[in-house]
Amino acid sequence: MERSNVIKAISSIGLTVGLGTASGYLTVSEIPTWYAGVTKPSFNPPNYLFGPVWTILYILMGISFFIIWKQPPSPQRKKAINFYLLQYALNLAWSFIFFNQHQIFLALIDIIAMWFLIQFTMIAFGKINKIAAWLLLPYLLWVSFATMLNAAIWLLNK
């Protein structure tokens, strides 16, 4: 692999996992305090599951992004990267909105927008590289579940 691609791969995976992990660390103090007192639905997974799941998803997202980033520059690649960055910004914002600000409904709006943007990202990625698009499918499925969970928590606590 070319040196520039090695740097892109490390950056893509490292930043995606690193920023996601940082987001988790900034909100983890709310789990045994505020979040423990929130009424949750019966299908709420145990807290210990979220860290490993998100780590795997962030790795897959980083690999997917790398596959697109290493392609030759084009308007199509630029559009795909912009979709990715926008959905990822919403991903990072969700933790802050939900856990730090305790804004369950606003977090629901955020995650619904993220859900759509993940799909737009997958479509844009798929036009460039099918594998990059498919690598985002577990992420879309988890965010679909997380959206239902967020909605249920909002309904149970409004």
pTM for the predicted model, two decimal places: 0.95
Tokens for 158, please give them: 């409004």
Domain ranges of the chain: 3-157
Give the Cα separation of 64 and 131 in Å (integer).
8
Give the Cα separation of 93 and 133 in Å (integer).
23
pLDDT surpasses 80 at 1: no
* Digit-coded pLDDT (tens) for 108-123: 999 999 999 999 999 9
Q: Which CATH superfamily is domain 3-157 in?
A: TspO/MBR protein (1.20.1260.100)
Q: Give the mean model confidence (pLDDT) for residues 7-31.
A: 92
pLDDT at 106: 98
Q: Please compute Rg for the chain using Cα positions.
A: 16
* pLDDT band of 156, cuts 50, 70, 90: very high
Tell me the pLDDT of the chain averaged across its residues: 96
User: Which residues have C-beta within 8 Å of that of residue 127, sequence separation ≥ 6?
Assistant: 76, 80
Residue 73: what are its φ and ψ, rounded to 5°?
A: -55, 140
